[in-house]
Amino acid sequence: MCKYFFSFLLSLLFIGNIYSADDAISQRTYEYLKRINEFIDEENYERAQKDLETFERYYQSDQSYERALMQQLYGNFYAIQGKYKEAIEKYENALRFKKMPLITGFQIRKNLSQCYFQTSDYKNTIRVLEDYKAVAEKRYQIFPPLNSIMLGISYYQEGKLLPAYENIAFANANSTKYKEDWLGYEFGVAIELEKFEEAKDVAQLLIFINPDKKEYWKQLSGLYYTLESDDESLAGLELAYERNTLTKEKEYVDLSKYYLYKSLPQKAVKVLKYGMNTGIVPKSKENYDLLADSYFLLKDRSQGINFLIKSLEIDNDPETAFKIGRFAFEEEDWSLAYKYLSKAKSLNYKKNPGRLDLLMGICKYETNDYKLASELFNNALEFEGTKTSAEGWLAYIKELQAS
């Protein structure tokens, strides 16, 4: 994994010469660096180091572009071997070159931050990544979600929970695919910050991704009780239901949540549907939401989405519309996703401004409607949280159309 990561960097470096009055390198230098990179790729470290040492003697000035490239290559040489402290020194030396091309500077900072992270030097990880982010924002470039996750974890290790949460949430919001471990990080930090509503939303996503993991349902059930301050004992409700002695909506709802806590969604569905059929449990938005959660745990996503739609028919809640759209997005049902994301927007969904336009734009891109996709990505440019992602998509569509 490590070898692949650093070799990929070098494959970017050696795509032709760099043409600039100050930054050009000769064909001879290019071929020499390329040869060293091939030695590294072949794990011929003895020969690579020998050539690096020879090359280093010719370029002593920190403001020599050739020396900067050599230091970058030296950093790769050490990092691939797991010699992170030595790699850090070389990468830091490379960054002393003041006229570093943008892509090269990004790659060096990315590798440097990973080396600091590997050595548990979280302060310097934060320093390098915040610098990366500042340069990226200034030059209208995307700050990759993977870097945002590393930054968030580093802040967490330093005991700075709020910036940790903000960066991890940013990574999840700007990733085009759900990542279970990333969402787990966001959930954990949200709980520590007592952001229980936000934690509940993340817990529901975790259940959607991995409904077989009992821990997620226990977490969600615990949040239900935390948010509702319900200290009532639930264990006895099961026996009461079996004896057909439940007479209140709250008893049916509490019992269904109890079954979810015990990872028995089929029983939760049975209890809720029975209560609705008898008329004791009203067909309310809240109860449809709970029924939808139960179906998601049963891996019956179509039924889960159907009950969310029923919930939305009762109350035009933008959060529910967004949830339907996002679940459909993950299923790659682009038409359904676009329909409900659009509805969420029409209902003035205000959480994560610009996120709706970004996701809707991706839906339209996937259905080859590049014109509307571009319009939506342009809307997303107006918001700080989605600006860099939107710029990346617009640039990609432009390149695609040009080709």
**Residue 60 pLDDT class (50, 70, 90 cuts):** low
Domain 2-119 shares a fold with domain 210-315? yes
Lowest mean pLDDT among 79-88, 96-105, 167-176, 307-316: 96-105
Model pLDDT for residues 81-114, shown as the tens digit of each residue: 999 999 999 999 999 888 888 888 999 999 999 9
Residue found by looking up tokens 């020194």 in the block: 89
- In the predicted model, is pLDDT for residue 166 greater than 90? yes
Mean predicted confidence (pLDDT) in 140-165: 95
Interior CA angle at 95 toward 92 and 101, to 5°? Answer: 150
- The CATH classification number of 330-403 equals 1.25.40
Lowest mean pLDDT among 155-159, 230-234, 236-240, 317-321: 230-234
At 50 the pLDDT is 86
Mean predicted confidence (pLDDT) in 353-376: 93
User: Distance between CA atoms of 122 and 150, rounded to whole angstroms?
Assistant: 9
Contacts by residues 158-164 (CB-CB < 8 Å, ≥ 24 positions apart): 158/122, 158/123, 158/126, 161/189, 161/192, 161/193, 162/193, 164/189
Residue found by looking up tokens 């889960």 in the block: 304
With a CB cutoff of 8 Å and minimum separation 6, the contacts of 188 are none
Q: Where are the beta strands (DSSP E) in 185-273?
A: none
Lowest mean pLDDT among 209-223, 234-248, 345-359, 376-390: 234-248
The amino acid at residue 250 is K
Class of domain 210-315: mainly alpha
Model pLDDT for residues 10-33, shown as the tens digit of each residue: 333 332 233 233 345 677 777 878
Query: Residue 112 in contact with residue 127, Cβ under 8 Å?
Result: no
- Strand, helix or coil at 44? coil
As a whole number of Å, the CA-based R_g of the chain is: 27
The alpha carbon of residue 392 and the mean position of all alpha carbons in its chain are separated, in whole angstroms, by: 16
Query: Residue 208 in contact with residue 330, Cβ under 8 Å?
Result: yes
User: Distance between CA atoms of 207 and 222, rounded to whole angstroms?
Assistant: 14
Range of 101-105, 258-262, 320-324 with top mean pLDDT: 320-324
Mean predicted confidence (pLDDT) in 314-320: 93
Mean predicted confidence (pLDDT) in 377-387: 90
57: left (phi over 0), alpha (psi -120 to 50) or beta: alpha
The alpha carbon of residue 108 and the mean position of all alpha carbons in its chain are separated, in whole angstroms, by: 22
More confident residue, 155 or 384: 155
Mean predicted confidence (pLDDT) in 267-291: 95
At 188 the pLDDT is 96
Class of domain 2-119: mainly alpha
More confident residue, 288 or 331: 288
**Residue 346 pLDDT class (50, 70, 90 cuts):** very high
Mean predicted confidence (pLDDT) in 283-304: 92
User: Distance between CA atoms of 233 and 242, rounded to whole angstroms?
Assistant: 17
User: Distance between CA atoms of 303 and 238, rounded to whole angstroms?
Assistant: 25
Q: Where are the domains of the chain?
A: 2-119, 210-315, 330-403
Average pLDDT, the chain: 85
Query: Residue 58 in contact with residue 40, Cβ under 8 Å?
Result: no
At 5 the pLDDT is 37
At 303 the pLDDT is 92
